[in-house]
Amino acid sequence: MKIVILTGAGISAESGLQTFRAEDGLWEGHRVEDVATPEAFERSPRTVTRFYNARRIAAAEAQPNAAHYALARLAEDGGHEVILITQNVDDLHERAGFEGVIHMHGSLAMARCYECNVQFDAPMEMVVGDCCPGCGAPTTRPDIVWFGEMPYQMEEISDALSTADLFVSIGTSGNVYPAAGFVEFATRAGAETLELNLEPSSGVFENSRQGPATVLVPQWVEDLLA
């Protein structure tokens, strides 16, 4: 069976990383348009860089949880073809052992030059005006997909969704497109759909289970591998 999995901030919540839209969420203290748009970066590069530096440190200090490990076990088992798309910019899936994760919203571990577009490993603390290792211009930014920018690997994602037997969404509120539209896309392509989330999201899924990811995901993987 070909399984396409989409994860969001909820899968990393029990690793201590804040989600975005909860009352005490990551953007509670920051207006989204102040930090997650290219315009915000142009207007206030220091604020945005500081925000992502803090996130990079928090992500490095966090540990993968039982949900990240369960997905890695599912892929390692080899009984199914498993494609993992994450909206998350942390590397907890990789540190749990999942190889080849699609980071559609970029990654805290990477930086990018907005002049020549070269991508490179981000230092733990980026500084505004750091020079690009490719072209030397002082035009580096976090390699994060902000509002209004095209998410990464969309062609690969679209191919995966078109041929999926099962689409599983874990820990995402379904508020941000194009990811929020994947369930409809997969349904139209004939896949079964399942949501594992603390609360029902805005998507329409064939099956939906509510609870913490560290409980639901290992249970689902065990059932599948049994």
Nearer to ligand BJW, 53 or 172 (CB): 172
Minimum distance from CB of 4 to ligand BJW (Å)? 16
The terminus-to-terminus CA distance of the chain in angstroms comes to: 14
Residue that has been written with the tokens 């029902």 in this structure: 200
Nearer to ligand BJW, 21 or 31 (CB): 21
Give me 188's structure tokens: 């139209």
Burial environment of residue 224 by CB neighbours within 10 A (0 to 12, 13 to 18, 19 or more): middle
Q: Please give the Cα distance from 188 to 184 (Å, whole number).
A: 6
How many Cβ atoms from other residues are within 10 Å of residue 111's Cβ?
23
Minimum distance from CB of 187 to ligand BJW (Å)? 17
- Annotated catalytic residue 30: no
Nearer to ligand BJW, 120 or 152 (CB): 152
| 149-to-21, 38, 61 alpha-carbon distances in Å | 20, 8, 28
Minimum distance from CB of 147 to ligand BJW (Å)? 4
Reduce the DSSP state of residue 146 to 3 states and report it.
coil
Nearer to ligand BJW, 137 or 147 (CB): 147
Which residue sits closest to ligand BJW, CB atoms considered?
Answer: 10
Catalytically annotated residue among 68, 93, 103, 105: 105
Minimum distance from CB of 136 to ligand BJW (Å)? 27
Nearer to ligand BJW, 136 or 159 (CB): 159
DSSP per-residue letters across 25-92 = -TTSSS-HHHHSSHHHHHH-HHHHHHHHHHHHHHHHH----HHHHHHHHHHHH-SSEEEEEE---S-H
Q: Which residue ranges make up the site for ligand BJW (CB under 6 A)?
A: 8-10, 13-14, 19-21, 25, 36, 87, 89, 105, 144-151, 154, 171-173, 175-178, 197-199, 201, 212-213
Q: What does the DSSP 8-state code read for residue 181?
A: G
Minimum distance from CB of 45 to ligand BJW (Å)? 15
Residue 209: what are its φ and ψ, rounded to 5°?
-120, 135
Active centre residues (catalytic)? 105
